[in-house]
Amino acid sequence: MHKQKKYLLWLIITLLVSTFHRPGFAQDVSTSGGEIIIVHPANPTKTLTLNQARTIFSMRARQWPNGTPITVVVLNDQSPIHKAFLRNVLRILPHQLRRNWDRYIYAGIGQGPMVVDDPLEMIEMVEKIPGAIGYIEKGVPHEQVLTLTIR
């Protein structure tokens, strides 16, 4: 019975949170937060919708519109920047993203994201790998990569 109550509470919270995922709301949150999405300098994409960003970072999207393979670069799960990016920009919880990655890996579809230790390494990897996407905090110098906006 206790597990049923926990599940019911989780379901109610999930439904309440999902009602705030309306167009425009995520943009307000991501632009006021301290994290930004960065991509390889040759990437022609300039904007993403919230759903596109979630699809890419959950590894369900495998290619950019021009056919270039997507390489997702993230900080480790314990990083405060990683947690803030998921909360403020993607509007998901870390365990939700991890569950998607694990499903992707264990299903044999592909590998998980590339994990780096710090924002400078994130910028370096995104700059080196065509099709790469990652995130950093605002204020970190990142002239060598492009910034995407969430619309």
DSSP 31-59: HHSSEEEEE-TT----EE-HHHHHHHHTT
What pairs with residue 134 in β-bridges? 38
For the chain, which residues make up each domain, given as ranges?
24-150
Task: Give the per-residue pLDDT at 3.
Answer: 62
Cα–Cα–Cα angle for 92, 52, 93, rounded to 5 degrees: 5
Rounded distance between C-alpha atoms, residue 151 and residue 140, angstroms: 22
CA–CA distance from 72 to each of 18, 34, 39, 60, 140 (Å)? 24, 20, 10, 11, 19
Task: Give the per-residue pLDDT at 26.
Answer: 32
pLDDT in tens, the chain (151 residues): 566 666 555 556 655 554 444 333 333 333 346 889 999 999 999 999 999 999 999 998 999 999 999 999 999 999 999 999 999 999 999 988 988 888 888 887 778 899 999 999 999 999 999 999 999 999 888 889 999 988 8
Task: Give the per-residue pLDDT at 145.
Answer: 94
Task: Give the per-residue pLDDT at 31.
Answer: 37
User: Which fold, 24-150?
Assistant: D-Maltodextrin-Binding Protein; domain 2 (3.40.190)
Task: Give the per-residue pLDDT at 105.
Answer: 84
Burial of residue 145 (CB within 10 Å: 0-12, 13-18, 19+) is: buried
